[in-house]
Structure 1
Amino acid sequence: MWIKSGLPPLLLSYVVAMVLMVMPLPSMLEAWRPDWLSLLIIYWLLAIPHRVGVGTVLILGLLADILMGSVFGIYATALLIMAYPAIRHFQRIRNYSLTQQAIIVGMLILVKRAIVYELEHVLNDAVFQLPYLYPVLSSAIIWPWIYLILRQYRRRYAIR
């Protein structure tokens, strides 16, 4: 029964996002790596908010903490705070054009990265450098393609 519910393809998308978070890239592109997990979470929150919610975001955030080797709870906290406006206003955001959605996605990811930086700064004395914000721009730029690819994926595997 859970196979017909579209759960395996949904779980597979989470695994792919986690792999893309740590996949090696050329050093020139490393700073521009999009925030894959945040993009995926935002998409699923907008597309199927009745199935992907705070609990899912919390679990994915804790898994991201483990995967990235950060202090336990940093990514979870940042993802939860980032996800709240998407959950709260999903009906409104879904009706915006892809360009407007890309701007909103960029702002949400900026909030997430600012929270991660602040927590890392307080806990580990992290030093801010401008390349830390490059993923905000790259994520906003690729949002339209991510949206279209994941929409096709959702329809193909009947994720509802």
Structure 2
Amino acid sequence: MSFRSYAIALSLICALVLQIMPLPAFVDLYRPDWVLLVLCYWTLALPHRVNVGVAFINGLILDVLLGSSLGVHSFAMCVSIYVLAANYKRLRNYSLWQQAFVIGVISAFYNLIVFWLQHLLTDVYFLFTYMWPVVSSMILWPWLFWLLRKLRRQLRIS
């Protein structure tokens, strides 16, 4: 087996590592949703290989890694990726900056679902700082898109 057959899985593992990597507290507020961003790219590029099922598994892994209630990130990830997968043909034709805006909306949707579920399960209150990852995810999208597209084209992943 070649590296090509594991490239998607390895990119998701890298995203999971980046999601849990320790950062200083003032930087951690702006941590992008790495797993969501990588899943969004692969869902747009290869919707027949990366879909809601892959999002569910990665959401469960993220729940375990972050120590949150089992299913919170998984449910939010599934709903977000479903919305993206249902509209992938239209979103592929958008410019990179329009895609960044859409990714920001999906990231906000994801973070609000996570907050809502955590609020139902615990007694967490909303703070505006919960939305900083949305801004950093929007800013990071063009560069992540370029990097993963280059990887996909060089390895001829289809």
The residue that corresponds to 1:146 in the other structure is 144
1:38 maps to a residue whose letter is: L
Measure, in 2, the Cα distance between the counterparts of 1:7 and 1:86. 24
Matched, 1:15 2:13: yes
The residue that corresponds to 1:47 in the other structure is 45
Matched, 1:118 2:116: yes
The residue that corresponds to 1:98 in the other structure is 96
3-state SS of 1:6 partner: helix
The residue that corresponds to 2:60 in the other structure is 62
Residues 53 and 78 in structure 2, CA contact (< 8 A), matched pair in contact too: no
TM-score w.r.t. structure 2 length?
0.96
Q: CA RMSD in A?
A: 1.2
The residue that corresponds to 1:36 in the other structure is 34
Structure 2: which 5+ runs fail to align?
none
How many matched pairs?
158
The 10-residue stretch of structure 1 (3-12 or 56-65) with the greater mean CA deviation from structure 2: 3-12
Which deviations, in whole Å up to 9, do the C-alpha atoms of 1:27-85 show, x marking residues without a partner?
A: 22110001100000100000000111121111111111111111110011000111112
Measure, in 2, the Cα distance between the counterparts of 1:48 and 1:4. 19
Measure, in 2, the Cα distance between the counterparts of 1:85 and 1:111. 10
Residues 5 and 159 in structure 1, CA contact (< 8 A), matched pair in contact too: no
2:33 maps to a residue whose letter is: D
Structure 1: which 5+ runs fail to align?
none
Task: State the percentage of identical aligned residues.
Answer: 41
1:10 maps to a residue whose letter is: I
**Which runs of at least 4 in structure 1 moved beyond 6 Å after TM superposition?**
none
Measure, in 2, the Cα distance between the counterparts of 1:51 and 1:86. 14
Measure, in 1, the Cα distance between the counterparts of 2:25 and 2:3. 40
TM-score w.r.t. structure 1 length?
0.95
